[in-house]
Structure 1
Amino acid sequence: MDKFIDRKNTSSVKWDGMKAVFGKDDLLPMWVADMDFRPPEPVLEAMKHRLGHGIFGYTIVGECTENAIVSWIKKRHRWEIKPAWLMYSPGVVPSIGTAIQAFTEPGDKVLLQSPVYTPFFNMIENNMREVVNSPLQMKNGRYEIDFNDFEEKLKSGVKLFLLCSPHNPGGRVWTKDELVTMAELCRKYGVIIASDEIHADLVAPPFKHIPIGSLEPSYADFTLTFMAPSKTFNLAGLQSSFMVVPNEDMRKKISGIHMKEGFFTLNTFGTIAMEAAYLHGEQWLDDVLAYIRSNIEFVKTELAANLPELEVIEPEGSYLIWIDCSKTGLEDKELREKLLEKGKLAVNFGDAYGPGGENFIRLNIACHRSIVEEGLKRLKQAFS
């Protein structure tokens, strides 16, 4: 991790795709949620070995890969799942789209909790469903759920609830009590839960990620859990993810959508990388989590000393820092101009995450410390 790797000219969205998003490419990229770290060496070796074979026909997800996923989830998240529950997808966002198509009809209501990962809104709207929002409440620098509002929204005829756990961009790791309350209310009103848990592995002590479907066997019956090695091991470009779907009837509905889409198998190298990562990547991940935590503490210390008007929302999970800029007095447009024009810094701007995201920025610190240091200099420059 403590080695800078130049990613320019690799067709990287993060490093080479800024002009299309921000209108300029002379920026320091601390936006897209991928790391600047090389994956575990056993993953690279497994891919090299497969490359040496030289034939890359259609590839099944075999028993070894399934067992690697099952073992990983049991060890890291204390959830014993069955291989038969596993279904596959190119990514968590496509999985969300599949769930929306499988369990709702055009015009149906789908619940989310803003501010939240932008594709939640996009996938609901692109599939001609209605967004129903139960906004999270910021209390003492930490997001909480307004359960009265949550229940009122469920009562309105919601069919599907998109849960972000751990939360992106706010970094909350939901507690057992919070998860149980959400699950019980969804059961009460007959609402299916689709839980995006892509950041599940990026939680460091004392916090602990709990898959909502693991809390009680009956919850698993109306819960879809979306996971992937992509964020955990920096494999997003290989486009391999999986769903945990214990309910057989729900699996049949998902299979029906996959048939309509023409999807039937994963990328060859994505499958190989996923298996190798879950079998051999644990020590690498623990080292990465320690490095990320060090970067988070560095950002908190530096901002407190040099830019106290910027408030860091403590990330309990993920490598994304959600920063409240409201005390600067700048509107979102002014904030954007300051950071892009004066600071030359590419971040994700909070207004894209729905109501409650205004005046926030999201900073990706899964990178070499020198990039973090330069990013903070540019933040200071932007607000000077």
Structure 2
Amino acid sequence: MKYNFDEFVDRSHTDTVKSGRLKQLFGREDLIPLWVADMDFLCPPAVTEALKERVEHGLFGYTMPSQAYYDSILGWLKRRHQWKVKQEYLTYVPGVVKAFAFAMDVFTQKGDGVIIQPPVYHPFRLVTQALGRKVIHNPLLLQDGRYRIDFDGLERLLKTTDCKMLLFCNPHNPGGRVWSPDELKKLAALCHAYRVLVVSDEIHGDMAFPGYRHTPFATVSPEAEQNSITLMAPSKTFNIAGIVSSFAVVPNPKIRQLYFDYLEARELNDGTVFAYTATRAAYEQGDEWLKEMMQYVEQNVSLVDGFFKEHIPQIKVMIPQASFLVWLDCRELGLTQKELVDLFVNKARLALNDGTMFGREGEGFMRMNVGTPRSVIETALNNLKKACKA
């Protein structure tokens, strides 16, 4: 490989959430952090060089998105996802979570229902609750070791509850499910028929493994295109979450005007000079880095799966179809969730995400981040093996 993903990078003293919040969230600091969804790899050199060049200029006044910034996004979406997007559909947003919170402000009122499909990225639930909306659960179905959408349950909810919005995770987190075009079309048809706006979080969409292809929700049908807000970013893909480089794609002119006007009035659509710089560099020059990174992560996933099959067969790996997050089914260990967390944290000295943070459907599960050097993964697995034997 051209890039060295085996290199261990010391992130201490950089105010990183991954290690800086261990004591607060896990009760101790002597843990291998395999939880929060960023990677331990250096970002693409092209991004670092572009940022260095901009810093060396030495003047950081008010900035604006250049045509090259927009072209980099449009080119990436066309090249990576076969999605031809018009520039007027795009806007910068200061983070995907913030962006769907803004959408709730614009398109729903307090007390309105917002559908989520657990187990799912926990801010879907937390933000909805914090904004005074009603969280309506349509749990995913776990069939043959893979999550599927409960379309019958969804239609019952659409018929019987006052829903205004569906927060959709595409690809799904946790579980790494890449939804098929047919599934997306069916979801789009239902939500369009019942006038429920789909806000699609596609932040993991660039990281589909070989054999799978991410399909942007808005591309599958006219109903999907005209009844959706798509949220994307180079942040997970190129490990630049701290730069805050997200964007929204809104094809429907009425939805777009309402949403963009809200952002414009609050100056929420103004990115920083570093967001624009990093986005352009990543999308223009990051293809080779991404290809090698995904090969490396896929090997990490295989390592984890093979290790558990050989040494701890009670833990089943849901092989992700996208991203660097691995969903571990630990139910055959026969532990309560409290005991399971204690096994990982206090006995194995590992910080993983407790499955129940993604909803009660995550009971018996843990989420593991394998976007880290292989030596770290090997140490973590051996720690867990010793803890299970003990």
- Structure-2-length-normalised TM-score: 0.96
Tell me if the contact between 1:226 and 1:242 (Cα under 8 Å) persists in the aligned partners.
yes
What is residue 16 of structure 1 aligned with on the other side?
20
Alpha-carbon distance, 1:219 to partner = 2.0
Alpha-carbon distance, 1:218 to partner = 3.8
Structure 1 residue 103 corresponds to structure 2 residue 107: yes
User: Secondary structure of the equivalent of 2:187?
Assistant: helix
What is residue 283 of structure 2 aligned with on the other side?
278
CA distance in 1, matches of 2:128, 2:68: 35
Alpha-carbon distance, 1:254 to partner = 1.4
Alpha-carbon distance, 1:261 to partner = 4.0
* 1:209-248 equivalence runs, <5 A: 209-248=214-253
CA distance in 2, matches of 1:257, 1:80: 25
Return 256-265 or 83-92, whichever deviates more: 256-265
Alpha-carbon distance, 1:267 to partner = 1.7
What is residue 317 of structure 1 aligned with on the other side?
322
AA matched with 1:214? T
Alpha-carbon distance, 1:124 to partner = 0.5
Tell me if the contact between 1:11 and 1:17 (Cα under 8 Å) persists in the aligned partners.
no
Structure 1 residue 26 corresponds to structure 2 residue 44: no
Alpha-carbon distance, 1:260 to partner = 5.4
Tell me if the contact between 1:309 and 1:327 (Cα under 8 Å) persists in the aligned partners.
yes
Alpha-carbon distance, 1:262 to partner = 4.1
User: Secondary structure of the equivalent of 2:118?
Assistant: coil
What is residue 383 of structure 1 aligned with on the other side?
388
What is residue 63 of structure 1 aligned with on the other side?
67
Tell me if the contact between 2:94 and 2:269 (Cα under 8 Å) persists in the aligned partners.
no
The alignment of Structure 1 onto Structure 2 pairs a total of residues equal to 384
Alpha-carbon distance, 1:2 to partner = 2.2
Unaligned runs of 5+ in 1: none
> Which one of the candidate residues 144, 150, 174 is aligned to 2:179?
174
> Which one of the candidate residues 291, 302, 314 is aligned to 2:307?
302
Structure 1 residue 329 corresponds to structure 2 residue 334: yes
User: Secondary structure of the equivalent of 1:246?
Assistant: coil
> Which one of the candidate residues 363, 366, 369 is aligned to 1:361?
366
**Once the two structures are superposed, what CA deviation does each residue of 1:47-81 show, in whole Å capped at 9, x if it has no partner?**
00100111112221121100100000001101100
AA matched with 2:116? L
Structure 1 residue 76 corresponds to structure 2 residue 80: yes
User: Secondary structure of the equivalent of 1:201?
Assistant: helix
User: Secondary structure of the equivalent of 2:207?
Assistant: coil
CA distance in 1, matches of 2:352, 2:171: 20
CA distance in 2, matches of 1:258, 1:287: 36
User: Secondary structure of the equivalent of 2:360?
Assistant: coil
Unaligned runs of 5+ in 2: none
User: Secondary structure of the equivalent of 1:321?
Assistant: strand
CA distance in 2, matches of 1:195, 1:101: 16
CA distance in 2, matches of 1:14, 1:261: 31
- Structure-1-length-normalised TM-score: 0.98
* 1:132-143 equivalence runs, <5 A: 132-143=136-147
Aligned-residue identity in percent: 42
Alpha-carbon distance, 1:289 to partner = 0.5
Tell me if the contact between 1:85 and 1:244 (Cα under 8 Å) persists in the aligned partners.
yes
* 1:92-171 equivalence runs, <5 A: 92-155=96-159, 156-171=161-176
> Which one of the candidate residues 254, 257, 261 is aligned to 1:252?
257
Return 24-33 or 216-225, whichever deviates more: 216-225
What is residue 350 of structure 2 aligned with on the other side?
345
Tell me if the contact between 2:192 and 2:223 (Cα under 8 Å) persists in the aligned partners.
no
Alpha-carbon distance, 1:157 to partner = 2.2
User: Secondary structure of the equivalent of 2:270?
Assistant: coil
Tell me if the contact between 2:188 and 2:221 (Cα under 8 Å) persists in the aligned partners.
no
How large is the Cα RMSD of the aligned pairs? Answer: 1.1
AA matched with 2:27? G
Alpha-carbon distance, 1:21 to partner = 1.4
CA distance in 1, matches of 2:262, 2:382: 48
